[in-house]
């Protein structure tokens, strides 16, 4: 049986992944500034508001559904996402998990505070997608 990941590790992994994703989004937004200076400020706002959550959802989906089962932030902290039976998360479940996670993010991740009170340390996206975040087995 796998050991459920420490909630603080999950938060730290989220911070690493957010830094990576939003760093990339900042580069895209900065590259869009010349367009905005020509009257496309609304476009710049759309890029900022949609690119961040969209890129993060794609990022999370593909990393969680990969053979590694973990984003770079999770890999750095030696935790991974598995299905409730301990197996690999399939693409559909990973996408569902990412979309529900994006909804939590839109609420400043407040719904995820439940991991400090739930015995299995489940966030809403884990409940919906039937996943668990566990300590990685490898070194």
Residues of the chain with pLDDT under 50: none
Q: What is the pLDDT of residue 50?
A: 78
Residues 126, 119: Cα–Cα separation, whole Å: 13
Residue 33 phi/psi, 5-degree rounding, is -60, -45
**CB-based contacts of 41, cutoff 8 Å, min separation 6:** none
Reading phi first (left if > 0) and then psi (alpha if -120 to 50, else beta), residue 92 is in alpha
Residues 138, 79: Cα–Cα separation, whole Å: 10
Q: pTM, whole model, 2 decimals?
A: 0.87
Model confidence over 55-94: pLDDT tens digits? 999 999 999 999 999 999 999 999 999 999 999 999 999 9
For residue 133, with 0-12 CB atoms within 10 Å meaning exposed, 13-18 middle and 19 or more buried, which class applies?
buried
Domain residue extents for the chain = 7-135
Structural contact between residues 55 and 20, judged by C-beta atoms closer than 8 angstroms: no
């Amino acid at each position: 049986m796998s050991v459920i990941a420490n909630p603080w590790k999950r938060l730290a992994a989220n911070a690493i992944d957010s830094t990576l994703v939003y760093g990339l989004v900042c580069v895209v937004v900065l590259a869009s500034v010349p367009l905005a200076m020509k009257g496309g400020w609304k476009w710049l706002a759309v890029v900022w508001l949609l690119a961040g959550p969209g890129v993060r959802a794609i990022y999370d989906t593909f990393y969680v559904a990969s053979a590694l089962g973990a984003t770079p932030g999770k890999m750095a902290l030696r935790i991974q996402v598995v299905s409730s039976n301990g197996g690999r998360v399939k693409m559909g479940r990973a996408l569902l998990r990412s979309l529900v996670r994006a909804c939590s993010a839109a609420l400043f991740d407040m719904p995820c505070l439940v991991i400090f009170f739930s015995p299995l340390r489940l966030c809403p996206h884990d409940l919906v997608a039937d996943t668990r975040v566990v300590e990685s087995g490898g070194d």
